[in-house]
Every structure is written in C-alpha cells, then in structure tokens.
Chains A and B, each alone.
Chain A
Amino acid sequence: MRWLAVPLIAGLLAGVPWLPGLPLFWVTLLNSIGIAAILVLGLVVLTGIGGMTSFGQASFMGFGAYATALLTTHGVSPWLALPAAILAAGVAAAVIGAVTLRLSGHYLALGTLAWGVSLYYLAANLDALGRNDGMSGLPPLVLFGARLIDPRLYFPVVWAFVLLACLATRNLLDSRVGRAVRALRGGAQAAASFGVNIFRARLVAFVYAGMLAGLAGWLYAQMQRSVNPTPFSLNASIEYLLMAVVGGAGHVPGALLGAALVTLVNDRLQDVLPRLLGAQGNFETIVFGILLMAVLQVAPEGVWPHVARLWRRRIRSHPLGVPPARAERLEVGAAVLEVSALRKRFGGLVAVNDVSFTVAAGQIVGLIGPNGAGKSTTFNLLTGVARPDGGRVRFAGRQLSGLPARAVARLRIARSFQHVKLVAGMSAIENVAVGAHLRGRAGALRGLLRLDRVEEAGLFGEAAAQLARVGLGACADRPAASLALGQQRLLEIARALCLDPVLLLLDEPAAGLRHQEKQALAALLRRLRAEGMAILLVEHDMEFVMGLADRLVVMDFGTKLADGPPAVVRADPAVIEAYLGGVA
C-alpha cells in the first residue's frame, strides 16, 4: 500500500487549496504557516532537543532568501537557487556555530542575538542587497510549464517541502547522529564517555537548523517574489522561537502546531488590536510577550504533549539485526590498567595522593573506602573527566592519563556513573544504543536519507542483546525515565557493554539494587570476568564487593591503605581502624 501514499498525498496537496468555499486569503495564510513550520522544525532540533537556543534563526532564513534573490535576478533558475539558498544558510550556520558552540548555552543565545541584529543592519545598508528597500521583481517559480504565482498553485510546493522536512527531521533524530544530538540535553557527559563528539553533534544540529531556515528563506522569497530585511529581523527570530515554545519545542509535530497557532493568532491580533486600542502599531508584541512568559510557567513543554495525550502513542519498535563483530579480548592475566603514583589536588586538599594499583584482564578489582576517601576522584581521573596533577595511568601499555573522555572510549574503556546519566526522553534501548556509537559509522547525511538501516539494525541488535543480558529485555521500549533506579543502573551497565569494552569501570553499580538484582548483577560480572574482561568497581556495599572482587584497593583520605585479596584486606588493622575508628 505504500506506493499509493505518494500519489495520494500529491493529489491531496494539489486539491486542498481548490476546496470550494476556501477563501484565497486562507490559502496564503496556510502557505505562511508552512514556511514558518519548516524554520521552526529546525528550532525543535536545535532548541527543544539539542538544548541550544538561537535568537538568530530568521537571519539564516535571510541568507537563503537573499541568496535566492541575488541568483534569480541575475538569470539563474529559481530551482537552481534552491540548493544555493540551503548551502548559503548552512555555511553561515557552520561559521557562526564554529565560533560559539563550545561555550555554554546562553553565550550561544546571546551571540545569535548580537549577530541577528548586526546581520539585519548589514542587509539594510548594503547597496548590493538594495538596502532597506531590498530586492524585488524575482522571477516566479515554474513547474510543468505553469508559473506558480497564484497562492493556490504555490501551496503544493510549500507543503511538499514541509512534509519532506518533517520526514528528514524524523529520520535524522532516529539515527546514530540523532541519538548524539538527543543526548546533548542532560546526557552530554555520558555521551562523550561513549565516544560521541559533543561539539560535532552540536554543530550538526545548528547547521541542520540553519539549512532548514535557508529552505524557508527560499520558499519565502519565491512566494513574495521580493525580499527586504524586515522579515529577517530579531523580532521575527523571536516570533519563531515563540512558535517552537508554544507548539512544543521537543516534538516534530509541535513545530507545525506552534507555527499554525502563532500565525493565526498574529493575523487576528493585527486586525483586532489597533481597532481596540485606537492606534496603529505592532501591538501584538504585547500579547506575544505575555503569552511567551505565561506558556513557560503554565505549560513549559508546549501545547503538543497535551494534544498527543488524547490518543495512545504508538511506540516505534526498532528492527533488530546482526550485531557488529566484536573486537579481540586480551589474554586473561595480561595487565590492562596500571596506575602509578596518581595525584590530584583541589587547592590545598590532596584528594588523591600517590595512589598505585593494577587491574588485569579477567580480574575484578574493588576500589573501596569511607566517604571522602578519594574514590570518585580517582575514578574521574581514569575516565578523562578530570586531569591528574601527577602520576601515570597506562592502559594496555599505552598512556591514558590526560586523554579526554572521548579518546578514553576509543580505547574500549566503558564506564557507568555514580549519579545515573540517561537521556530521559529516549527509550531504554535507544539509551543503550548510545553505548554502541563507536561501533557504527553512519553520518548525518546517511541518517537523513535513511541509508543507515542495516547498520542501525545491527546496533539495535547489539543493544537488545545487552539489555537482555542485564535482565531488562522486557523494558526495551519503555522511556528510560520510567525505570526504577536499580533498573537504570543496570541500563547503564548494558550501555557500557555495548561499547564492547576491554575494561569496565563501574561507579557504585549495586547502589539502589534489591537483593535479587544484586545477585543477578554479581553473576553477570562473574560471567564477564570469565570472558576475560577487566572490571574495576567503586563500591560501598561491602557484602557485594567482598564476595565478588579478586582484589580490593582500600583508600582513605586520598591515600591507599591496603591492596590485596578480600580476606587479607578484611583483617588489615589499618583498614579496620579507617572503617571503625581507633580502638578506644
């Protein structure tokens, strides 16, 4: 039946504007809504999902529109201007993004604000762009010999692009790169620990949003057949952001809903307010401003989630394929991690003081100690989250200390977090699939065009296998946030296993687990050990760690107190004193 969909949709698009009784004015309005929706889709990816706010989105639209105007008034076909418009906006976004995207979010927002203003003044003062008057007399779009001047003829073009943009956005978000973008909000540190290039993920979202704005600019220029700076001003950018916030910035349909609501309300207000107030002016900004503040307080998620609740959500299941091949394990007994004289100080406090120990393949080592002993700091030094002030960490003979988290992941070192770091909006299996990021190769373009399906099925096959291994096979499609804390910890372990690690670093994996879950976890770790994996775990639960570890490293006040088999360590007087206090 799928092959029927295309002609059906095409017929619908061509037919809707000719419905009897539909005023021409409404068709124009629908065209405006469609163009705005395309731009707002970009904001959904960027702001709602990627957590970056742009107050300059209309200026990217301006890049597209002016590129179109410049080319078509010089004799280039409007259809050829389309890729040029998208490219112009994309390049502008890449340049601006490269400058600001390393900084935390509000710098980007303020940067786009300043750029939005200066680009507006630039366009309004450049002779080549016609200054404040802009450029007019663009040749109309021609399709099958018809000049698309009538809004009813232009309608199918606009909405075909809206559908394509929705489809592309959905594809992108449901891909390897899309998961990296979705992990930016709240899960960036975790994603980086699995090899995601955070900066590149941000840049992808920013450029993609810029390109959608460029497409909107092309459509706008072709619809108006003229351009001037006003529709690309800061106020326009703010209006698009309002659409995203009102509609539901985290959801693709929210872009359509927001664009429709704000455009329609705007149209009514521009009509009613001046009559009501007895003066001319853009008084709708008062309502929009108050609306924006009210939505943030009353429905911060926007309107769409409230609409979507009216019907049952269909959960998209992922086809599972053959997992990618595993790399070789190290020989059991080979030294995997060698820590020597590791040191970290915070001001006057030496948090880790010349600590040395080793972990071998096929061995479980427990790092224990009272609160404040420096376990977590040691852990962060090993995983590239913090940089050591002295000492060396070697991994399979290679220098590890000082490497960033992403490079640590490349060496097939996987970790879990003491405070669980999962992406709340993604399902359990999608979270786990983030762990397999480095085992896939597909980029944004392949994801966008859906050419990544075989690889994706493989990654999800692996994710499903690891989920089943930790006993969460039944929860695969549930939102990660809906799982109990103990289950979330197990989910983190499944994600870590997806990396196909040589060394597994677990930060308090048993905390919050019930007795049976702990036993299951211990059994799993024993199996992994038998497979030759090296495991280092920081743990508070003595019973758990005593029965499991081959060796224990005890820390207190940043220094190593003892190192040896559990039975020996348990009898060590220094350890007893650290845990129970001095003998009175």
Chain B
Amino acid sequence: MDSTILLILGQDGVVNGAIYALLALSLVLVFATTRVIFIPQGEFVAYGALSYAALDQGQLPGSVWLLCGLGVAAFVAGVWRGRGTGGLLGLGLRTLGLPAVVTMAAMLLAPRRPGVAVEAVLALAIVTPMAPYIYRIGFQPLAEASVLVLLIGAVGAHLALTGMGLLLFGPEGSRAGGFSEASLSFGDLVVQGQAIWIVGLALLAMLALYGLFGHTLVGRALRATAVNRLGARLVGIPTEQAGVIAFGLAGFIGAASGILIAPLTTIYYDSGFLIGLKGFTAAIIAGLASYPGAVLAALLVGVVESFASFWASAFKEVIVFAVIIPVLLWRSWRAPAGEDEE
C-alpha cells in the first residue's frame, strides 16, 4: 500500500464517517429525548436519496403518497386521542395541510427539473415530516413503555418502511447527479467536489445542532426532557412536543444524509438499513449519550470501513460491526451487574 491509496482510503473514510456522524448524532438525540432507539433512521436515508434521485430525473417520487398516508393516519390518531396542543385546526394544518402543499409543489415542480437546490429542498420536505407523523402514530402512545418495548416498536417501523420503500421505489437502485462536478487536487490527493459538500454540510449541521442545544429555548427544553421526563413536564415542557421535534430532526438529518450520498453510490430501497446501523455502531460506542463521542466514533467507523473494504472487501460488514465488540467488552467490564430490567 502506498501513500496515495492511504490518502484515498482516508478520504473515503472521513466522508463516510461524516455521514455516520450525522446519523449517530440524531440517534443519540432521539434516544435521549424519547428513549426510542430509532432503527428506521436508515429508511429515511434511503427515502431521502431515492426521492431526490427521482426528482433529479424529472419524476414524481412515490414517497409523496406515503407522506399523505402518514399525514392522514397521524390526523386520525390525533383526533382519536384528543388533539393535544394547538386544537383541531392546528392538527389539520400540520397533518393534512402540509402533505397536501408538499405534494402539490412536487407535482408542479418535478417535471420541470428545477435544479439541484430546489430538488434537494423538495426531497427534504417530502421525507422529513414522515418522522414526526410516525412518532405521533406509533410512539407517543408508548411514551411510558420500557426501552425494550420501544425498541421492538422501532424495529416494527423499520420493517414496515422497508416494505413500503420496495413498493414506492421498486427494486431498482438509483443514483443522482452531484452538487458539484468539480474536483480539487492537493499533490497526490484528488478531492471530489461532492466529498467537500458532504463534509462541509455535515460540519454545518453539527454546528447548527450545537447552537440549537446550547443557545435556544427549544434546545434546552429537549435537553431537560432528556435528563428527566417527569421533571421537564412538571416545569411545563410539553414532552410529547419534544418527541415530535426530536423525531423531526432525526428525519431531517436522515433525509439530508441520503441526499448527500445519493450521487456517490447507488442506493436501493433497503440500502439505508446498513448505513443507519453503522451510525448506530458509532452511537453505541459513544454509549448513546455523548455527542462529541458519537462524532469521533463515527469517523472511526468510517475509516475502519474504508480500510476493511480495501483489504477484505467480502468481510467489510463483518469487520465494521465487530468494532463494537471490544467497546461492549470494555463497557461490560465497568458495568455493575444486577440492575433491574424493566
């Protein structure tokens, strides 16, 4: 192996790691605020990528119909349980109005091929709201359930969304045009424009999350909910709202990650799961608790993956997931035995 290959593998690792870092951050966020281990995160990556790719080809992505369906289901669930915040009108606007507007915009714009930026925004608008709808339908009623029950529910959502992905996008994979065809060279190292976009946007998103949590009321409310649900409710934070926001952010980050990687690799309806699982590996290494830890662990996962695919490509996935074994061993060493299972 010479230094050029080393640089290329390192670059690949950092680019993938940036995506895993975004996913890991949102997984930590969702787990901390709702105790849901958000397995369907990967489906949001695939949905984002495939919706963007469809728009890029001038087609209406099938995901708009799922958005409308989930909106209606969330509306029915909201009415069934007694509206919660904002009254019937607010609920209607959020669950029926929004998908209608997004669908109409997509129908109007898709055939005109409005350019990369508009397509990306449109894909985000289609995919992101699905996450809060899913929270309202499936997880809000389970808010007091144990972590394991929530985890099983999340796996159910993953299963349903994967099947839906096959139905909406078909079994063929898609690849979209990039944000930038440019490439820069630094000596031996050639850096693709798309790679710069990915790392740059990932950094921006991390900074934005940092700002949100450190310096805004919403962010503080989310943190308070994460530390103590009951306490947060007692001081007047609507914890259900916190769940909706956390899911919304996770959906947004998932879809955005999908849009960013769509030009790099062919995405199939079920590709998201493995990508999301690598985000998980990073989040688990960070103990599902530390944000900077999750970012570092994600970079580690990305680099391990790119080197593994060079040396032993057939066993790439085996090696990547085996990374968590020493971490779990170490955690297990330090953990006190004998705590109660819920």
Partners in one complex: yes
Interchain CA distance A107-B342 in the complex, whole Å: 13
Interface pair B341/A245, CB less than 8 Å apart: no
CA distance A534 to B177 in the complex (A): 79
Closest residue of A by beta carbon distance from B314: A125
Scan residues 8-57 of chain B and give those whose CB is less than 8 A from a CB of chain A: 37
The reply to whether A114 and B164 contact each other, CB–CB distance below 8 Å, is: no
CB nearest to A283 among chain B residues: B163
Query: How far is it, in angstroms, between the C-alpha of A165 and the C-alpha of B16 when the chains are bound?
Result: 46
Contact (Cβ within 8 A) B152 A51: no
Can you list, as one digit per residue, whether each of B98-129 has a CB less than 8 Å from chain A (1) or not (0)?
00000000000000000000000000000000
Let me know if A245 and B332 touch, CB within 8 A: no
CB distance from A281 to the nearest CB of B (A): 5
Nearest to A286 among chain B residues (CB) is B163
The answer to whether A289 has its CB under 8 Å from any CB of chain B is yes
The secondary-structure label for the interface of chain B is: helix
B317 touches A53 (CB 8 A): no
Rounded to whole angstroms, the CA-CA distance of A96 and B161 in the bound complex is 30
B230 on the A face (CB < 8 A): no
A122 engages B318 (CB within 8 Å): yes
Chain A residues with CB below 8 A from B318, complex form = 118-119, 121-122, 125
> What residues on A are CB-neighbors of B274 within 8 Å?
117
| Contact yes or no, B341 A277, CB < 8 A | no
Q: Which of B37, B138, B142, B321 contacts A106 (CB 8 A)?
A: B37
Q: How far is the CB of A417 from chain B (nearest CB, A)?
A: 12
The reply to whether A117 and B317 contact each other, CB–CB distance below 8 Å, is yes
Known contacts A106-B148, A281-B167; decide if A114 and B277 are in contact (CB<8 Å). yes
Give Cα distance in the complex from A110 to B281, angstroms.
9
Determine if A571 is an interface residue (Cβ-Cβ < 8 Å).
no
Is A156 on the interface with B (CB-CB < 8 A)?
Answer: no
Task: Establish whether residues A285 and B159, one from each chain, have CB atoms under 8 Å apart when the complex forms.
Answer: yes
B-contacting residues, A147-179, CB 8 Å: none
In the bound assembly, the distance between CA atoms of A118 and B280 in angstroms comes to 14
State which residues 262-294 of A face B: CB under 8 Å: 277, 279, 281-293
Q: Of A186-194, A348-356, A474-482, A541-549, which binds chain B?
A: A186-194
Q: Is the CB of B328 within 8 A of A289?
A: no
Which residue from A114, A119, A291, A405 sits with its C-beta under 8 Å from B281? Answer: A114
CB of B175 closer than 8 Å to a CB of A: no
- Cβ contact within 8 Å between A296 and B156: yes
Q: Are A99 and B325 in contact (CB under 8 A)?
A: yes
Q: Please tell me if A340 contacts chain B, counting CB pairs below 8 Å.
A: no
Q: Chain B contacts of A404 at CB under 8 A?
A: 338
- Report whether A289 and B156 are in contact in the complex, using a CB–CB cutoff of 8 Å: yes
Query: Complex: how many Å from CA A281 to CA B171?
Result: 8
Q: In angstroms, how far is the closest chain B Cβ from the Cβ of A59?
A: 12
Task: Enumerate A93-147 residues with CB–CB distance to B below 8 Å.
Answer: 99-107, 109-111, 113-115, 117-119, 121-122, 125
**List of A residues within 8 angstroms of B171 by Cβ:** 281
- What 1/0 flags go to B307-342 for Cβ under 8 Å of A? 000000011111011101100110111010111111
**Residues of chain A contacted by B170 (CB below 8 angstroms):** 279
| Chain A residues with CB below 8 A from B332, complex form | 99-103
Within 8 A of A (CB), among B156-193: 156-164, 166-167, 170-171
Given contact pairs A107-B328, A285-B162, A292-B156, A188 touches B338 in the complex (Cβ within 8 A): yes
CB of A300 within 8 Å of the partner chain: yes
Q: How far is the CA of A198 from the CA of B146 in the complex (A)?
A: 20
A283, B341: Cβ atoms closer than 8 Å: no
Q: Tell me, in angstroms, the Cα distance from A50 to B340 when the chains sit together.
A: 11
The answer to whether A292 touches B338 (Cβ under 8 A) is no
Instruction: Assess the A292–B147 pair: CB atoms within 8 A.
Output: no
State whether A289 and B158 are in contact (beta carbons under 8 Å apart), knowing that A51-B341, A189-B338 are contacts in the complex.
yes
CB contacts (< 8 Å) of A184 on chain B: these are: 341
Interface residues on B, range: 35 or more
Q: Say yes or no for A241: interface residue by CB 8 A criterion.
A: yes
The listed residue (B160, B277, B325) touching A113 by CB distance below 8 A is: B277
Q: Which residues of the other chain, B, contact A241 by a CB distance below 8 angstroms?
A: 152, 155
Q: Name the distance in Å between A419's Cβ and chain B's nearest Cβ.
A: 12
- Tell me which residues across on chain A come within 8 A of B160, comparing CB atoms: 285-290, 293
Please judge, given known A-B contacts A121-B318, A297-B142, whether A102 and B335 are in contact too, CB under 8 Å: yes
Q: Are B149 and A289 in contact (CB under 8 A)?
A: no
Question: Is there a chain B Cβ closer than 8 Å to A185's Cβ?
Answer: yes
A163 to B332, CA, bound (A): 37
Complex Cα–Cα for A51 and B147 (A):
11
Tell me how far the C-beta of B270 lies from the nearest C-beta in chain A, rounded to whole angstroms. Answer: 10
Contact in complex: B167, A277 (CB < 8 Å): yes
Question: Are B155 and A292 neighbours in the complex by a CB distance under 8 Å?
Answer: yes
Q: How far is the CB of A87 from chain B (nearest CB, A)?
A: 22
| Contact with A296, one of B147, B149, B281, B340 (Cβ below 8 angstroms) | B149
Complex: how many Å from CA A283 to CA B270? 13
A99 neighbours in B (Cβ, 8 Å): 325, 328-329, 332
Which residues of A have CB within 8 Å of B141?
297
Which of B159, B280, B321 is the one whose CB lies under 8 Å from A238?
B159
Q: Is the CB of A288 within 8 A of B337?
A: no
Docked complex Cα distance between A281 and B166 (Å): 7
| Contact A188–B340 (Cβ < 8 Å) | yes
Determine the distance from Cα of A119 to Cα of B315 in the docked complex, in whole angstroms. 10
Question: Which residues of B are found within 8 Å of A118, using beta-carbon distances?
Answer: 317-318, 320-322
What are 15 A-B residue pairs whose CB atoms fall within 8 Å in the complex? A118-B317, A121-B317, A122-B318, A188-B340, A238-B159, A286-B160, A286-B163, A289-B158, A289-B160, A289-B161, A290-B156, A292-B159, A293-B157, A296-B149, A297-B142
6 nearest A-B pairs in the assembled complex, by CB-CB distance: A289-B160, A292-B156, A289-B159, A51-B341, A286-B163, A285-B163
18 more A-B residue pairs beyond the given contacts A107-B328, A114-B281, A118-B318, with a C-beta to C-beta distance below 8 A: A51-B148, A102-B333, A104-B335, A104-B339, A105-B342, A114-B277, A118-B317, A125-B314, A125-B318, A184-B341, A186-B342, A189-B339, A199-B338, A283-B166, A285-B159, A286-B159, A297-B142, A300-B149
